[in-house]
Structure 1
Amino acid sequence: MLITFDTDNASDCAKVAELLGINDRALREPMTWDTLPGITRHILREEGISTIAELAERSPVDLLKLPNFGNKSLKAVEQLLDEHGLTLWTKRKT
């Protein structure tokens, strides 16, 4: 299931969080940058990604296409999302 929502809309975040069984503040709060390697933080900031929800909307392929974003950065991002009960977006075959 693909869920698209406006991360600035508190009502949207609350509905998505309820579906996912997580706290809606986790979707809207700025990311905890200090858990990510410096280069990863820099790349994500340059890309305009500032919340967990914005990060979770990206696919591994999207992130790996970013300059200097490699497997180490990908693993760090996946670990951060896992701590929030989320994963990167992936296309699922039906």
Structure 2
Amino acid sequence: MVSSTASDVDPDSPTEFQYWEADGVVWGHYSGDTVTHGRFVGTRDGDLVSISYAHALKAGGKAGGHSSSRVEAGDDGRLRLVEEFTFEGDDTVHVSVCAEVS
């Protein structure tokens, strides 16, 4: 993760995501920064990825919600996910950007 409107991203220990896909179904896990461990599952249609997620917070507690991401090619050729997401119980739309690690 390189940026998020929901929290400051620690550049030395950002949240890192691993994605897998088969037949348009996506799933994976993530950890780092404010997240102890998280899981997601969803679908990809063209350049749109829609997922539901849940994670445990390092500060205690948990969070979950839904997101939609656009898959884009960055200027450096790496893929980027520009994600709009909400937390359960909060209708505020947040935006994050994740960049492929080469």
TM-score, structure 1 normalization: 0.28
Which has the larger share of strand?
2
Does 1 or 2 have the higher relative contact order (CA < 8 Å, sep 6+)? 1
More helix by share: 1
Q: TM-score normalized by structure 2?
A: 0.27
